[in-house]
Structure 1
Amino acid sequence: MRLLITSDTHLPKRAKELPAPLLAEIPRADVVLHAGDWVDTATLDLLESRSRRLVGVHGNNDGPALRARLPEVAYADLGGLRFGVVHETGAAQGREARCAARFPGLDLLVFGHSHIPWDTTAATGLRLLNPGSPTDRRRQPYRTYLTATVADGRLRDVELHRLPPR
């Protein structure tokens, strides 16, 4: 099972459209996970229409129209792994322990908000992934998103894709 993991697309505020490499990944993915801050419903409509399966949440910059269509936290069983998706997880310090306590029973938690790629594992075994942002790099050298595969009940081939700064 191939995954496309993104967050913080912020359209049309930070960019006019999603980057072509990210759009090209959508038909290759069995599941697209989006960790919030869409900003416009057109991006949600686009991903819903092009994805085989979309698991998404709303973020702090998402207004009433997006909040009406997306939960704050989403859960999905994918290839034998229990995923959670949320926008905000709080400060980086103590994140692993805090998320492990808040989301017991998950194998992976996808989150956004910071625009900073993140890949760590809590003492409980919970893996935390933040894909960064494909449209707004903030203090990072690149705009980013993630791809991964799930096979035999394991997450494999996690790859951070770097897009050039604009």
Structure 2
Amino acid sequence: MSDTHLPRRAKRLPEPLLAELPRADVVVHAGDWVDAATLDLLAERSRRLIGVYGNNDGPDLRARLPEVARAELDGLRLGVVHETGPARGREARCAARFPDLDVLVFGHSHIPWDTTAPTGLRLLNPGSPTDRRRQPFCTYMTATVAGGALAEVRLHRLPPRTAG
């Protein structure tokens, strides 16, 4: 997930997303939490949390989170960052910046994104579960890792009434 912007955009995380947390081996948040309570909630309810700060996150969150996070998940080299710049040229720019990754999860735009750079780097943006902006739905993603690769990536649309 990314760009939760709590409590500015919504009062709480949607129940369908919260229900997924105990099932996940790893929860990823690509920044713009806005409040430390969301970080605390996800840390408490997740087996493992990987997160970064975003441009709307203040000093308290920046003190607790990195700008870029990296992890190895069953042989998959994962990176998380909030901003990647404009959509035009994103694949080449990210592949050059992160040549040692297999997957990069990012946020900022609130626009779901799933592409693969010519180098093989997979770029994923889950959108936002609480602030759809110009998108038709609030969203988040789930992914399965098997044998060092992504086996399945799924974009989940949230019903409007659960998004905030």
Give the structure-1-normalised TM-score. 0.96
1:26 to 21, 46, 52: 21
Q: Which position in structure 1 is the counterpart of 2:154?
A: 159
Letter in 2 for 1:147: T
**Partner Cα separation in structure 2 for residue 83 and residue 157 of structure 1:** 15
Q: Are 2:99 and 1:104 equivalent residues in the alignment?
A: yes
Structural mapping, 1:120-131, within 5 Å: 120-131=115-126
What one-letter code is carried by the residue in structure 1 that aligns with 2:116? T
Q: Which moved more, 1:153-162 or 1:64-73?
A: 153-162
Match of 2:85 in 1: 90
1:153: Cα distance to partner?
1.5
Query: 1:105 Cα deviation (Å)?
Result: 1.1
For residues 36-55 of structure 1, the aligned pairs below 5 Å read 36-55=31-50
Where structure 1 has 5 or more consecutive residues not aligned to the other structure, the ranges are: 1-5
Secondary structure of the residue aligned to 1:101 is helix
The reply to whether residue 15 of structure 1 matches residue 10 of structure 2 is yes
Structure 1 position 79, deviation (Å) = 1.0
Q: Write out the 4+ residue segments of structure 1 that deviate beyond 3 Å after TM superposition.
A: none
Which structure 2 residue ranges, 5 or more long, are not aligned? none
Q: Could you tell me which residue of structure 2 aligns to residue 3 of structure 1?
A: none
Describe the superposition over 1:85-106 as per-residue Cα deviations: whole angstroms up to 9, x where unpaired.
Answer: 0000000000000000001110
Aligned position for 1:150: 145
Q: Can you list the C-alpha shifts for 1:98-147, whole angstroms capped at 9, x where unaligned?
A: 00000111000000000000000000000000000000000000000000
Measured in 2, the distance between the counterparts of 1:145 and 1:154 equals: 20
Which of 51, 62, 68 is matched with 2:63 structurally?
68
Provide the rounded CA distance (Å) in 2 between the counterparts of 1:127 and 1:157.
Answer: 12
Query: How far 1:154 moved relative to its partner?
Result: 1.4
Secondary structure, counterpart of 1:129 in structure 2: strand
2:38 partner SS: helix
Supply the distance in 1 between the matched residues of 2:127 and 2:151 (Cα, whole angstroms): 19
User: Which residue of 131, 135, 148 maps to 2:130?
Assistant: 135
| Conserved 8 A contact 1:141-1:165 | no
Give the percent of matched residue pairs that are identical in Structure 1 and Structure 2.
Answer: 82
How many residue pairs align between the two structures?
Answer: 161
Q: Secondary structure at the match of 2:86?
A: coil
CA contact (8 A) 1:19 1:134 kept: yes
2:121 maps to a residue whose letter is L
